[in-house]
Amino acid sequence: MFNLGSQTSATCGGMTRRSLLQVGSLSALGLGLPSWLAAREAQPAAARKDVNCILLWMGGGPSNIDTFDMKPDAPQEIRGEFKAIASKLPGLQVCEHLPKMARLTDRLCLIRSLAHPESGDHAAATHYLLTGYPQRPDPTGQPINSVIYPSMGSVVSREKGWRNALPPYALVPSGKGVGYHAAGYLGRAYDPLTVGGDPNSPDFKIDDVTIPAAVGPARTARRRSMLEALDRWQKQTEGLIGERNRFYQQAYDFLTSPAAKKAFRLDQESAATRDRYGRSTYGQACLLARRLIEAGVRFVTLNTGAWDTHTDNFNSLKNNVALLPGLDVYWSALLEDLSQRGLLDSTLVVWMGEFGRTPRINGAAGRDHWAYTNAVCLAGSGVKAGTVVGQTDRRCERVNGTPHSTHDLAATIFHVLGIDGRKEYQTPDGRPVLINYHGKPIAEAMA
């Protein structure tokens, strides 16, 4: 993958990922970057619709019963300590700790009918939600099935390609692990551009989007000229240039791109805008996601964590700025900002985690994994705003009626993004695989 810094973190299941490659360590003109580009081969044609996506990924699994599927009439051991408040959408109550989002529910499509069988561990459930495909690991965390499927962002990367000299897919921040956000069997060429570090830090900057100081513009130009001369000689002597020059050109364009440099300059935003998103890691990362979309990146994942609340669920959710307090601020800011900038009509915003939490509170005042009911929110392009799809029973234990699968959710997202889920890829060993495994777009969710 193409990294801009790295961090690590883990859930209760011990999922830990360490970034393997940093642009800052690339030699010369970023030799690792052209190699990464070379793996891409021919760029496919753009999909039917040019819709971008921001995925707000709640790593660890947010509690649906404490956010958007509250059960105020259930027994205390089910409903918990949070109060339900009215929202702008008639009949929909949300958590008291999401007051800003309560005023924006008329812009959301809330899906409460999602269910899947992977409550057991984070790895399997994360793979399922991010790719739309099941992937069950063995006790060591390694997949039993050797095929790891590409994330939806990686599919977008392959189908739509680069724009404005910017990679199509980015992950910010990378600190909670890349893992199944990556390209799986498609190969590293379609992994996300990952951004490490803390965007809220006063000295946050991405040196890797500039030519390394040790190289400098003059040496970079000389090295580029040498490569061009080598290619001219090769053309004269062998009649072949190959793909190298194209990949170096793409790498050079990115490293010197004004759009790329500008996209990472959070200091160019007004203090009021930065305050509106919240002066927190995820708040400023969310603002960066908007800037990347605006600059030309097609799919950006805001990669958050800490939602694995097995213990002290209520205290954590209401007091940890990485959870409900921060989420309410940056999510509402993102929707309003995109709308004011005219970007919401061309951007799909998805909020989800790998599963919900158990309706019954455990002995440690926490909630455990529960994939039989889950809450997912969509907003923006192609979405039927002000809609609630499906309902759960009175204790939030099961979906009433027929649930929607993760295949259906992925099919819905691909449909909005203009990607044909029936298209067939091939694994490295030649096995044919559909982009989406027979999922059906959720008609009630789409405009």
Distance CA 221, CA 255 (A): 12
CATH code at position 370:
3.40.720.10
pLDDT of residue 203: 85
Which phi and psi angles does 264 have, rounded to 5°?
-90, 0
The alpha-helical segments, DSSP class H, found in 136-215 are 152-160
Which phi and psi angles does 246 have, rounded to 5°?
-65, -40
Structural domain count, the chain? 1
**CB of 59 within 8 A of CB of 176?**
yes
Q: What is the pLDDT of residues 297-327, one digit of tens each?
A: 999 999 999 999 999 999 999 999 999 999 9
Residue (of 69, 105, 64) closest to 378 by Cα position = 105
Other CB atoms within a 10 A radius of the CB of residue 97 amount to 21
247 in any annotated domain = no
- Decide if pLDDT at 27 tops 50: no
- Give the confidence band of 146 by pLDDT, cuts at 50, 70, 90: low
- Give the confidence band of 25 by pLDDT, cuts at 50, 70, 90: very low
Distance CA 355, CA 327 (A): 17
pLDDT of residue 30: 38
Other CB atoms within a 10 A radius of the CB of residue 428 amount to 10
pLDDT of residue 258: 83
Q: What is the pLDDT of residues 258-268, one digit of tens each?
A: 888 889 999 99
85: three-class secondary structure by DSSP: strand
Residue (of 31, 23, 28, 34) closest to 244 by Cα position = 34
437 in any annotated domain = yes
Q: CB-based burial of residue 239 (10 Å sphere; 0-12 exposed, 13-18 middle, 19+ buried)?
A: exposed
Mean pLDDT of the chain: 84
29 in any annotated domain = no
- Give the confidence band of 42 by pLDDT, cuts at 50, 70, 90: very low
- Decide if pLDDT at 29 tops 50: no
Q: What is the pLDDT of residues 78-132, one digit of tens each?
A: 999 999 999 999 999 999 999 999 999 999 999 999 999 988 789 999 999 999 9
Q: What is the pLDDT of residues 363-375, one digit of tens each?
A: 999 999 999 999 9
Residue (of 413, 409, 408) closest to 438 by Cα position = 408
Which phi and psi angles does 248 have, rounded to 5°?
-65, -35
Q: CB-based burial of residue 226 (10 Å sphere; 0-12 exposed, 13-18 middle, 19+ buried)?
A: exposed
436 in any annotated domain = yes
234 in any annotated domain = no
pLDDT of residue 260: 84
> Greater confidence, 95 or 8?
95
123 in any annotated domain = yes
Domain extent, residue 117, equals: 44-213+253-445
Q: What is the pLDDT of residues 397-409, one digit of tens each?
A: 999 999 999 999 9
| Average pLDDT estimate for 153-158 | 97
| Average pLDDT estimate for 157-167 | 93
Q: What is the pLDDT of residues 337-389, one digit of tens each?
A: 999 999 999 999 999 999 999 999 999 999 999 999 999 999 999 999 999 99
Least confident of 38-47, 136-145, 175-184: 38-47
Which phi and psi angles does 158 have, rounded to 5°?
-70, -40
263 in any annotated domain = yes
Q: What is the pLDDT of residues 191-248, one digit of tens each?
A: 999 988 899 999 887 755 544 444 445 655 565 565 556 555 555 545 444 444 555 6
| Average pLDDT estimate for 172-179 | 81
Residue (of 409, 391, 388) closest to 65 by Cα position = 391
Angle between helices 406-417 and 122-131 (to 10 degrees): 40
Distance CA 67, CA 237 (A): 67
pLDDT of residue 24: 32
**CB of 317 within 8 A of CB of 174?**
no
pLDDT of residue 247: 57
Beta-bridged to residue 302, according to DSSP, are 56, 172
333 in any annotated domain = yes
